[in-house]
Amino acid sequence: METVETDVLVVGSGPAGAATALALSTYGVPNVMVTRYGGLADTPRAHITNQRTMEVLRDLGVEDRVTAQATPQPLMGNTVFCTSLAGEELGRLRSWGNDPLVQAAHELASPSRMCDMPQHLMEPVLVNAAVSRGTALRFHTEYLSHEQSDDGVTALVEDRLRGDTYRVRARYLVGADGGRSRVVENAGLPTVGRMGVAGSLNIVFEADLTQLTAHRPSTLYWVLAPGATVGGIGAGLVRCVRPWTEWMVVWGYDLEAGPPDLTEEFARSVVHRLLGDDTIPVRITSTSAWTVNHLYAETYADRRVLCAGDAVHRHPPSNGLGSNTSIQDAYNLAWKLKLVLDGTAAPALLDTYSAERAPVGRQIVERANRSIGETAPVFEALGVLATSDTEQMWRNVDARKAATPEGAKQRQGLREAIAAKVYEFNAHGVEMNQRYVSDAIVPDGTPDPGFGRDPELYHQPSTRPGAKLPHAWVVRGRERLSTLDLGGHGRFTLFTGIGGDCWQEAAEAAREALGIELATVSIGPGQEYEDPYGDWARLREIGDCGALLTRPDNHIGFRHPEMTPRAGELLIGALRKILGHG
């Protein structure tokens, strides 16, 4: 049987696999990506692309390509609650960084803007860039099984065009094969939770809905109609794919009864019900049934097999965290694979992948499932859950218009229930506050200060080891750069400032001692980079002559508040620990 050799075999070309292949190829690691089908995602699926993911894509050099195709943030912002798109509007929530206060927080937090990038557009950007940088991509190729030895993994794959099987021999295998992951199953990774919590349908369609939507531009229009609480993701949903002509409806079904027959007639009837106007011409382009899941893996790796994306965290689309977290998993994993493969780091560095990403996976699975439950109070406030009689439901919904104490109470209850949905539609902290604790993070002995405000809603920058490098605009001559642009690029970076010469020398010594790529950045008046707004000085939490070490993923691995004669010893010791040699 034929055997193909590579350093990393990536199974799956969804957001997790494509981003892994892209990052590996960007870092010069030979890799083969196999995917079962003959093409990439052919339906919109994931779309919300948060700031952290855009920062990752910026570092991987594809942010501009995504921005060029995505729906921009200002058009995402009015989450609408209504009885149907043509029917009564019940309220709106400023979402996805479009509340003026949250907008300011987004501006301050990152050089990158959130956007709406449907998965069928995102995957080609990632995959094309990966292939152009060296990834060998095999469509129609299905992973079947694998065996591990001390120095590699041998996977058996089937060429579905030819109908034969061959082996791929790799030093590592990345299982990015989605929510029904065979790699996770074969690797025996322990999981918590269950699949199939509720039934849901996607109906993708074309219709010109400009008249119903352009005056309240949004990514999501929630329809609170009778029947909308059966299964599904909390309510009926009309989601914008391309403003304002391409759309997707999400509608629930009773799991016990099984998915309905997805005929075109049925799909059209659901769409028209949510639009509230049967006369609107609608062209159905695809339908599919899927389930809401609540499951996460407790560990993401079994020796040389490492898993990422939906393979290890499965949850509903609420909060739009799926492909975001998948891309972020890939970014965490790729630099570690590179350094282990080129011998710079010990294999122990790969253990930190699971230690750092599994807590994030668990958090987002729980958050997304909680968000579904948090839609019920909106229905309750409207009195929809109090009766099964449809006529009575509409009378209850109407009661909020009455000039009575009950009417006033209902109005207030509705406002509060809609405002509480901020945890789904504006959870900046969930998106940006990931803090790692692992052997690839060197604690600096400072106590965890916790979060000053709700950590799900508010981003709180920090340079405490484990946090992401805070963003600040700095300048070099006429050029404006984010601190995040100075780090990343697949290498370590040491940030210091005036008086930090000992750290510059320490960096030189570390390069020689460890053979690593380590850039140095000095920020301050008369330094290579200046901090004209004083933002960096406010954010860095160290003195001018202190040091921050970022890992290739722009998370802080080590910090020291000031200069010290022990700089070389401390920095080399920290890097050795991060690299798994300490």
Q: Which residues bind ligand FDA (CB under 6 A)?
A: 11-17, 34-37, 45-48, 119, 142-143, 176-179, 182, 202, 250, 290, 309-311, 317, 320-324, 326
CA 457 remoteness from chain centre: 16
| Smaller CB separation from ligand FDA, 36 or 294 | 36
3-class secondary-structure state, position 151: coil
| Smaller CB separation from ligand FDA, 17 or 580 | 17
| Smaller CB separation from ligand FDA, 37 or 533 | 37
Place of tokens 């942010």: 63
CA distances from 78 to 204, 228, 240, 514 (A): 21, 20, 12, 51
Tokens encoding 351: 């253990």
| Smaller CB separation from ligand FDA, 10 or 571 | 10
| Smaller CB separation from ligand FDA, 249 or 414 | 249
- Intra-chain end-to-end CA distance of the chain, in Å: 42
| Smaller CB separation from ligand FDA, 63 or 541 | 63
Place of tokens 């075109």: 264
Q: Which helix (H) or strand (E) holds 86?
A: none
| Smaller CB separation from ligand FDA, 173 or 556 | 173
3-class secondary-structure state, position 513: helix
Q: Which of 10, 17, 578, 20 is nearest to 333 (CA)?
A: 20
Tokens encoding 361: 């996976």
Minimum gap (Å) between residue 468 Cβ and ligand FDA: 18
Minimum gap (Å) between residue 204 Cβ and ligand FDA: 10
| Smaller CB separation from ligand FDA, 13 or 483 | 13
| Smaller CB separation from ligand FDA, 353 or 503 | 353
| Smaller CB separation from ligand FDA, 318 or 483 | 318
Minimum gap (Å) between residue 83 Cβ and ligand FDA: 22
At 428, the amino acid letter reads H
Minimum gap (Å) between residue 179 Cβ and ligand FDA: 6
Q: Which helix (H) or strand (E) holds 243?
A: none
Q: Which of 37, 30, 38 is nearest to 6 (CA)?
A: 30
At 193, the amino acid letter reads G
Minimum gap (Å) between residue 102 Cβ and ligand FDA: 18
Q: At what angle do helices 501-514 and 567-578 cross, to 10 degrees?
A: 40
CA distances from 529 to 474, 485, 492, 500, 534 (A): 6, 12, 18, 14, 12
Tokens encoding 95: 């979402």
Place of tokens 């040091």: 547
Tokens encoding 311: 């393979």
Minimum gap (Å) between residue 321 Cβ and ligand FDA: 5
At 152, the amino acid letter reads G
| Smaller CB separation from ligand FDA, 157 or 567 | 157
Minimum gap (Å) between residue 537 Cβ and ligand FDA: 35
Other CB atoms within 10 A of residue 163 CB: 7
Minimum gap (Å) between residue 183 Cβ and ligand FDA: 7
Listed in order, strand segments (DSSP E) in 209-353 are 220-223, 236-242, 246-253, 283-297, 301-302, 305-307, 313-314
| Smaller CB separation from ligand FDA, 140 or 303 | 140
Other CB atoms within 10 A of residue 386 CB: 12
Minimum gap (Å) between residue 415 Cβ and ligand FDA: 26
Minimum gap (Å) between residue 142 Cβ and ligand FDA: 4
Tokens encoding 28: 């010069």
| Smaller CB separation from ligand FDA, 17 or 557 | 17
Other CB atoms within 10 A of residue 446 CB: 11
Other CB atoms within 10 A of residue 48 CB: 25
Minimum gap (Å) between residue 269 Cβ and ligand FDA: 20
3 class by beta-carbon count within 10 Å (0-12 exposed, 13-18 middle, 19+ buried):
exposed
Minimum gap (Å) between residue 54 Cβ and ligand FDA: 12
| Smaller CB separation from ligand FDA, 36 or 273 | 36
Minimum gap (Å) between residue 237 Cβ and ligand FDA: 9
Minimum gap (Å) between residue 386 Cβ and ligand FDA: 29
For the chain, the residue count is: 582
What does DSSP say about strands 236-242 and 220-223: parallel, antiparallel, or unpaired? antiparallel
Q: Which helix (H) or strand (E) holds 390?
A: helix 390-398
Backbone angles phi, psi at 199, to 5 degrees: -100, 145
